Each structure stands twice: as C-alpha cells, then as structure tokens.
Amino acid sequence: MVGLILKDLMTIQRQMKAQAFVLVFLLVMAIFMQQSSMLLAIIVFIVTIQAITALSYDEQSKWDKYANTLPISKADIVFSKYILSVMLMIIGLVMALPILFFINFFTNNETEFFLTFNLIVTLALCSLAVLLPIYIKFGSIKGRIVLIALCFIPGFLTGMFKEYIPDMPQTFLYLKQYVYLTPFGGLLLLCLSSLVSTAIYKRKEF
C-alpha cells in the first residue's frame, strides 16, 4: 500500500509542480478579489483531482497489468487511490487555510466561512466517490463520457420532478443547521464508493 501511494505521488509530482503556477496566479487573484472561498474551492479540487490524473497515468502505461504480478492485493490497489485522494485533499486544505485566514482577516466575512468550508469538502468527497468507480470501471476516455452523461442527470431529474420539490431557499435554510455533518456524509459515501470500486476491480481482467 505504501509503495503504491509513493508511486502515485512520484508520478503526479511533475503535474503538481506545473499546477503550482496556476495556484499562485489564483492566489493573487483571490487576494485582489477578496474571494477566499473561491480560492479554497479551486485548491481543494485541483489537488483532489490528482488521484484521477494518477489513474490516467496508470491506464496509459498499463500499470495494472504489472501491479497485479506484484504481491499486492486488488483491494489494496483500489484502496490506495482513495487514501491518496483524501491525503491530497488534506494537503490542499493545509496549504489553503493559512492563506484563507489571512484573506478573511482583512475582509471580515468569517460567518459564512464554516459553511463554505464544509460544503467544499463535502462536494470534493462526493465527486471522488462518484468519479473513482467510474474511472476504474470505464477507464479515462470512456469514463469522461460517462461523467458528462452523469452531469445531465441531476438537471434532468430536477426538471422532471420540479413540482414535487419544496421551496428551494426554504429547504436550504432548514438544511444549513446540519451542514457540519455533511463532510462525514461525504466520507461515508467515499467509503461505500471504495467498496463498489473494489468489487468492480476484482472482476476486471488485464
């Protein structure tokens, strides 16, 4: 497991360095615009999505064919990608938080910070929970197509069942008090997703 995570970190190292420039640019923008939540969202997503980059590199080099000749269980191969993504997210947060506090110190909009933070982390966890099984099942090219198709489903469903959905702002206000629970929900979803991915991976042939 450690070997696998190490391999992924080494593989995406270069990619991360390249994206560091984008981050610096965004940082400057966020400071000028005094938009701390935008910065947080971008940092968390860029860093978290690197797990998908690692999967693409694996696919390109047919790494799984080789990894499955090594004394590593299939469950560990899948699980390492989940641990990697959560690790990267934590790194992203650790990187982003001091900057955010710095921006917030000058802008004084701390009230909404906790809400935004929770929602961003939850959204990142949920995206991973959906993305990883799709990429493991379909690979990066087909995975992208399935993903685009999936993006339309929420809109489609909302359109279909519009009349049954209660007043949106009211619902959000009601749900706001539970927002601190959402990252745990996201984490739970990620755990379930890892079980699904492992089941998918175990049926795969290389």
Residues that bind another protein (CB under 8 A): 2-3, 6-7, 10-11, 13-14, 57-58, 60-63, 65-66, 68-73, 205-206
Helices (H), 68-181: 74-107, 113-160, 168-176
Q: Which is nearer to another protein, 58 or 96 (CB)?
A: 58
Residue 122: CB minimum distance to another protein, A: 31
Q: Map tokens 């982003």 to a residue.
A: 96
Cα first-last separation, the chain: 20
Q: Which is nearer to another protein, 165 or 199 (CB)?
A: 199
Q: Which is nearer to another protein, 62 or 176 (CB)?
A: 62
Q: How far is it, in rounded angstroms, from Cα 117 to Cα 144?
A: 27
Q: Which is nearer to another protein, 61 or 107 (CB)?
A: 61
Residue 5: CB minimum distance to another protein, A: 9
Q: Residue 141: exposed, middle, or buried by beta-carbon count in 10 A (0-12, 13-18, 19+)?
A: exposed
Q: How far is it, in rounded angstroms, from Cα 132 to Cα 193?
A: 8
Residue 80: CB minimum distance to another protein, A: 11
Residue 180 tokens read as 């601190």
Handedness of CA 58, 5, 116, 181 (dihedral sign): positive
Residue 51: CB minimum distance to another protein, A: 14
Residue 8: CB minimum distance to another protein, A: 9
Q: Which is nearer to another protein, 72 or 123 (CB)?
A: 72
